[in-house]
């Protein structure tokens, strides 16, 4: 997920002076925080890397190594990914084999099949929508604390991050 240091409006735009009009501060939005993440579907514990670096195959490889480091027992790890070019690079595929990680790519335009997308939506609701962070450091700290203290939201996440998928 790529979050820009700026307010995300969670309200509709309307003419000034109408009932419930809210003024929302914003920043330039020139600094971006890339959040590379995976979610254990059983424990609901995320593994994340926060970085301002561009998302590319090298960052994905670093993240795969980080996941393997967090799960040293050596069993095969299955990761569901979208079809971003950097996820599908030959270098990423080769490194995943060395790390005993199997990459499963979702069909195009199917983010509803990936639990991490639900976590991103919840994150945006809690941290991004209608929140103003004056400095990038304040923004970074709030994002970092969200993932460090994720158990605060445990009850909400248990109902949101269920493995029961509805067929439409």
- Beta pairing class for 77-81 and 101-105: parallel
Instruction: Please check the confidence at residue 3 and state whether its pLDDT lies above 80.
Output: no
Burial of 75 (0-12, 13-18, 19+ CB in 10 A): exposed
Give per-residue pLDDT as tens, 48-75.
999 998 889 999 999 999 999 998 887 9
- Give me the CATH code for the 2-6+26-154 domain, please: 3.30.420.10
Q: Is the pTM of this model over 0.85?
A: no
Determine how many CB atoms are found less than 10 A away from the CB of residue 3.
20
Range list of H helices, the chain: 57-70, 90-98, 115-123, 136-148, 154-160
């Amino acid at each position: 997920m790529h979050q820009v240091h700026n307010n995300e409006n969670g309200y509709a735009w309307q003419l000034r002076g109408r009932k419930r009009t809210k003024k929302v501060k914003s920043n330039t939005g020139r600094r971006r925080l890339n959040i590379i993440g995976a979610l254990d579907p059983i424990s609901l514990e995320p593994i994340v890397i926060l970085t301002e670096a561009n998302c590319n195959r090298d960052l994905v490889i670093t993240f795969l190594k980080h996941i393997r480091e967090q799960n040293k027992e050596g069993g095969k790890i299955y990761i569901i990914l979208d079809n971003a070019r950097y996820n599908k690079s030959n270098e990423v595929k080769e490194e995943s084999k060395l790390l005993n990680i199997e990459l499963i790519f979702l069909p195009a335009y199917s983010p509803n099949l990936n639990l991490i997308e639900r976590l991103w939506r919840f994150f945006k609701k809690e941290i991004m929508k209608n929140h103003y962070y004056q400095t990038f450091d304040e923004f970074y700290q709030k994002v970092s604390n969200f993932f460090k203290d994720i158990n605060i939201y445990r009850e909400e996440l248990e109902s949101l991050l269920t493995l029961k998928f509805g067929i439409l």
